[in-house]
Every structure is written in structure tokens, then in C-alpha cells.
Structure 1
Amino acid sequence: MVVIGCSTGGPKSLPEVLSRLPGNLPAPVLVVQHMPEGFTRSFAERLNMISPLEVKEAEDGEEIHKGHVYLAPGNRHLLLNGRRLLLDDGPKVNYVRPAVDVLMNTVAPIYGPRTVGVILTGMGSDGAEGMRLIKRNGGKTVVQNEETCVVYGMPKAVVDLGAADRIVPLEDIAKNIVLMLSTGM
């Protein structure tokens, strides 16, 4: 399982990552991009055109499949219940909805050491606690380095918590995801 969180700068960083992942990726990819309602569907369609993986906006009750990317809709939290996605209108977390932490907090206990958490560029600290939980459950974590971020806030929050296994340039995120999925390292 791969969980990616991003905010400011994400619409430029996320395509870089998804376009470099192989079409036979042996895991589903769940993405929270802080984006207003009404923009995520067209963003998912744009990502689908440049990614070897199938990218779509997540739907409530949908079953997840490896080699597919599910993007949280704007203004809805994305959660995981077993192999099904849940959309939630609950209160904002870290001042945002969807929140990366909400998703990671539901994925980490289910997938444990089979989880790869990724935080890309973004303002604030959303995702830091979720990344710590992924590590506590035996998963692996990687964050985008300061030099390639538009805003280093979210990755820095993960680093400050000691929850980043790797800190790498944007162009190396995808190969680190593949490596972590295949070797657990």
C-alpha cells in the first residue's frame, strides 16, 4: 500500500512521481492532495493521462486494486476500511479536509509493514502524525527534500518528528517507493 500526501506545489510534484511509477506497481496508491471541491476530478483525469497507472477520483465504498491510484475528492476525508474506500464529511483535521493524517491513520493499522508513506511539498504539518504511525506499525516512509519543494512545511514536520526513513529529491521519490515495496528497505 502506498499513501501520498501533498499540498502547496503538489499539482506539479505529484505528476512527476506518478509518471515515474511502473504500470505493474504491486500495490494500490491512495493520494490526498489539498485541493478545493470541484477540482479533484479533472486533476485525477489529467494525472491519468500521464501515468502508467490508472488514476481516478476515489468513490465511497469502492474496492481498491493494485496498480490503481485513488485521489481523495476535495472537501471529503478519505479513509480505508479493509479494502474499501470511505469518504467522510467529518470536521477538518490540521485545518484541512481531506487530511493526510486521517487517511494514514486508517491505513497504517491495516497494512502495517506493507505500507509506504510519502509526503511531498506542502504548507503546514498534515501527514506528520500519520507518517509516525506508519513507522510505528512497521511501514516505511519517504519525504521530498527541501531543495526540490515549493514549500518544505509538510516534509519538514515529518523530519522534525523523526518519522522520515528517507529524504530524497522529487525525481527519486518514485524509485524509492518501488524499492520500499519490493524490499521493505
Structure 2
Amino acid sequence: MKKQLQKIDNPVSETSEQQISNAVGFPIAGIGASAGGLEALEQFFGNVPVNSGIAYVVIQHLDPNHAGIMPELLQRTTRMHVLQATDNLQVKPDHVYVIPPNKSMSVLNGHLYLFEPIELRGLRLPIDYFFRSLAADQHENGIGIILSGMGSDGSLGLKAIKEKNGIVAVQNPSTAKFDGMPNSAVNAVVVDILAPANELPAKLISLLKLSPTLVNKTGIDDKSKSNLEKIVILLRAQTGHDFSLYKKNTLFRRIERRMNVHQIEKISNYVRFLQENPTEIDILFKELLIGVTNFFRDAAVWENLREKVLPALFNEVPNGHVFRA
């Protein structure tokens, strides 16, 4: 008797969404800075309202041989409570946490944890290390911010935050005392907010206030679906890539992010915006590809494909039959 082919749900598209988020009920912003970072941090925190509802975690390249005075310096610029992070410290909104010298820091369930760095001093990437942890723990509640600094630390971590649908903000390189880190970030990932350090807080808070409207508990309405198809057509015409078979909710979430960045409330207006701004089509294309490239790095997906999906498919065809994917 012919074996029934077992229906296997798409393990590729579901894996990332099945991961459990430990997100707290408020955004956590990781702020990476290096050379010239103190000035940028002062400009940033000097413009953060005391009740923004965001927790801020500062990761700066610090001299391991000197006592950390960054909390005292930043406290002069803000009414929020600024403190040096300690092990197993619970993160609270409207607080600023500063990494101690000569430590790596991670976050789990909204608590900060300190580690002794194992890399040589010149090879350490503490900003990337924290950003990746923030993305894994907080998902869409994670925010990555890059300020003045040399090198490229933070760029890979921003990619991780983007993959979890978090927000990425970068100091405009032209306003940074050292533009290495901001330039690297801009070249590595689609940036949601690009502005001088003193303007980043207001733009960030404004973006957070824009709540998703395309996808709700009752699903996606027909008018929104029609406009989505128009966006798919525009993407295909300019990039040659067909997104028509992609998960609709995933597409809508990415599109909503771009709409919020431009403060566009109606998807029909965003369709018109795309028609008038071909550069935005390229940016949206890169934004949509973030989840796809993450899939190819998901070892669990490929293991499931090798162990379950392919054997089930091969068992259904006779020997010598050509199998086409």
C-alpha cells in the first residue's frame, strides 16, 4: 500500500516566530559608543525626557585600567537615575545603565549579567556582544543605537536587532566626532533613524508612539491586501524579486516599520510614496530580505529539512524518478 505523504508544516517560515521572547513590557535601548562617545552621549541624554518609558544601556569602549566614572558624567546631563551595571541587575524604564570597565555584558529576562571578557583587548566587540543578546532576549522591544566611534563594533549586532524587528538608530556620521562606527552601521543595515545625537531621542520616541494598524486581531482587510499586492508589484518591477508567496503578516510588519519611519498612516499613501520614490523601494527590499537571510543561518531549520522533510518526500517517489524542487 502506498505510504501517505505526511503533511509537514513549513518549518522554514515558522521557526523564528516560534522562538520564545523574554521581552519586558517596555523598550530597552542599547547605546554603543567609542571614541568621541562621551560628547555624543551627553548630547543624547540631554534631550531624553525623564518619562520616555525606555530603559537605556550604555556600552562604551572603556580603559580597563581606570575606574569607571561614566555614570557620574552622564548623571550631570539627565534627571534619570544613572548607575553602573552589576550582575543580575533588573532593568527598569527611565533608568540608564552603564557597562563597567573590562566587562562584557548580556541580558536575559530583562536582567543584566556581567562576564569576564575572554578575547584580547584589541579584539573585543562589547557592543556587538550586547546587541546580539538584546535582540535574542527582547525581540521587537530591542533598540540598537550607534554613536561616535572608530571601527565597526556594533554593526553585526544591529543586524541581529533588525532580524527580530527591533529599531535601529544611528548618529549621522557627518555630526560624529569619529564617523567609523556610524558609517559602518549605515553600510551594514537598513537604519530606521539617522540624525544628530541630540535629535535621536525625539525621533525615537515619535517612532515608538506610532502603533501598528495594518495587522490586528481580526486579520488583514481586503483593501490592505490589495495595496500589499501593489507593493509586491512595485518591488518585482524594480528588483526582479517576487514576494507574492511570502507570509503576509511578515510583509505587513516590515512595511509598517517603513511607514512609521516616514510617518505615513495609510498603506495606500505608502504605495504612492513608493511610486514617487524609487530609492524607498530599494530600502524596503533590503528590509524584507532581513528575515530571509536569517533563515539561511538557522541550523535547526536545515537539520529538520535533512532529517524529516527530505526523507518523507523521497519515500513518495519510485527509484530512478527525477525529483525537482
Unaligned regions of 5+ residues in structure 1, if any?
Answer: none
Displacement of 1:170: 2.0
Displacement of 1:171: 2.1
Counterpart among 127, 141, 149 of residue 168 in structure 2: 141
Higher strand share: 1
1:27 maps onto 2:54 in alignment = yes
Using the alignment, how far apart are the partners of 2:45 and 2:120 within structure 1?
26
> Match for residue 117 of structure 2?
90
Unaligned regions of 5+ residues in structure 2, if any?
Answer: 1-27, 212-259, 261-325
Aligned to 1:23, what secondary structure does the other structure show? Answer: coil
Aligned to 2:89, what secondary structure does the other structure show? Answer: coil
Using the alignment, how far apart are the partners of 1:123 and 1:92 within structure 2?
19
Between 1 and 2, higher relative CO (CA 8 Å, sep ≥ 6) is seen in 1
8 Å Cα contact 2:145-2:168 kept in structure 1: yes
- Could you tell me the TM-score, scaled by structure 2's length? 0.54
8 Å Cα contact 1:75-1:98 kept in structure 2: no
8 Å Cα contact 1:108-1:115 kept in structure 2: yes
Call closer, same or farther: CA 1:119–1:16 in 2, change over 3 Å: same
> Match for residue 290 of structure 2?
none
Aligned to 1:66, what secondary structure does the other structure show? Answer: coil
Displacement of 1:130: 0.6
Higher helix share: 2
Counterpart among 149, 152, 164 of residue 122 in structure 1: 149
The one-letter amino acid of 1:9's match is G
1:68 maps onto 2:95 in alignment = yes
Using the alignment, how far apart are the partners of 2:98 and 2:123 within structure 1?
15
> Match for residue 14 of structure 1?
41
> Match for residue 178 of structure 1?
205
Rg larger in structure: 2
Root mean square deviation of aligned Cα: 1.9
Using the alignment, how far apart are the partners of 1:63 and 1:172 within structure 2?
28
Call closer, same or farther: CA 1:93–1:24 in 2, change over 3 Å: farther
Aligned to 1:108, what secondary structure does the other structure show? Answer: helix
8 Å Cα contact 1:140-1:180 kept in structure 2: no
Using the alignment, how far apart are the partners of 2:108 and 2:84 within structure 1?
17
- Could you tell me the TM-score, scaled by structure 1's length? 0.92
